[in-house]
Amino acid sequence: MKIGVLALQGDFAEHIQVLKRLGVATAEVRLPRHLDGLDGLILPGGESTTMGKLCVDFNLLAPLQQFGQNQPIWGTCAGAILLSRDVRRSQPLLGLMDIRIARNAFGRQVDSFEADLDIEPLKRATHTDAPYHAFFIRAPIIEMVAGNARVLGSLPDGRIVAAQQGKLLATSFHPELTSDTRFHEYFLSFVHPS
């Protein structure tokens, strides 16, 4: 199994570290040909406008959309924004997930926070019971989930922070910044090595 991490901008190195810790082969993706032979892809956190523009500059938008037609992709924070169809403003998006996002929905960088989430599919897949402690850094919320997309996790007040659509996963928080590897394990459970 080999998992790529989009490495144009943002905290791709942290994702690669977690994957390595789980014994998974990794590749940094900067060009369309770097997608060859990958079994899944992670879009990291960072700044979604910049990441989207770099995808355009590096001719990655269409190859990533193509990849996501049948391979698993997981976007964390800015990566989740990139996966979405709608952010109510104009910026390059992959548009693969039927979700509408509100960027920076919790305020500014200083309003970053942590919260415990109860995500049943995650607990089931990893045979664990503890809530998932999530880090939100200038995070988006998922305002609307439509079509085949499903809510995966919400804050206690009901705001959606994780969604899934088949093998596509969007989280508005940052599992790559914690020592809890369960979200990476959950994503890897969608991956069927070629």
User: 15, 77, 143, 184: which is the annotated catalytic residue?
Assistant: 77
Please indicate whether residue 77 is annotated as part of the active site: yes
Q: Are 30 and 71 in contact (CB under 8 A)?
A: no
Please indicate whether residue 184 is annotated as part of the active site: no
Residues that bind ligand GLN (CB under 6 A): 45-48, 77-78, 81, 103-104, 137-138, 140
Which residue, 30 or 53, has its beta carbon nearer to ligand GLN?
Answer: 53
Q: Are 95 and 85 in contact (CB under 8 A)?
A: yes
Cβ at position 36, least distance to ligand GLN in Å: 27
Which residue, 49 or 189, has its beta carbon nearer to ligand GLN?
Answer: 49
Cβ at position 94, least distance to ligand GLN in Å: 14
Please indicate whether residue 143 is annotated as part of the active site: no
Which residue, 48 or 164, has its beta carbon nearer to ligand GLN?
Answer: 48
What 3-state class would DSSP assign to 32? helix
Which residue, 5 or 39, has its beta carbon nearer to ligand GLN?
Answer: 5
Instruction: Give me the helices (H) in the chain, please.
Output: 12-21, 48-57, 61-70, 78-83, 120-126, 182-188
User: 133, 176, 184, 185: which is the annotated catalytic residue?
Assistant: 176
What Å distances lie between residue 22 and 1, 15, 118, 124, 185, CA to CA? Answer: 12, 11, 23, 18, 8
Cα–Cα distance for residue pair 45/106, rounded to 1 Å: 16
Q: Which residues are catalytic, by number?
A: 77, 174, 176
